[in-house]
Amino acid sequence: MPNIERRYPGVGYIIEKTMLAVDGLAVSTDSLPRRLASAYVFHLMYAIHDMKDRNREGIPSEVVRVLEEIESAMSSIQVRDDRGLEGAIEGQMDENRAHDLIKKIVEMDHMLLGDMYD
């Protein structure tokens, strides 16, 4: 059993969703805001939902902090047309803000994976 499951029981789903988000961020050739939008819509919003369902219990505080920051950034996006949330994120978030959030996602992923083998 990886050490992270002993240290933080029940975070497997969040780890899975974070890894899938990072994979997409790494291989996509889209703009940074579009990559972030896809990572959020297809993976991170589910990790956030899981975190809330468990009342943040047993989740490392750094993971909670990053997921809450992502949720806060995404909740400020206004969906105004038929492009949906992904299109709205891409249209309203600048490259620098997207870069900062992506960097935090990657660092969170490294922290989670590092804890797996400590």
- Which tens digits make up the pLDDT trace of 14-48? 999 999 999 999 999 999 999 999 999 999 999 99
Contacts of 45 (CB under 8 A, 6+ apart): 71, 74
Q: Report the pLDDT value the prediction gives residue 1, as an integer from 0 to 100.
A: 39
Q: Are 66 and 37 in contact (CB under 8 A)?
A: no
* Banded pLDDT at 73 (limits 50, 70, 90): very high
pTM of the model: 0.86
Question: Taking all residues of the chain, what is their mean pLDDT, rounded to a whole number?
Answer: 88
Q: What is the mean pLDDT of residues 105-118?
A: 80
Q: How far is CA 9 from CA 50, 73, 74, 89, in A?
A: 13, 28, 27, 33
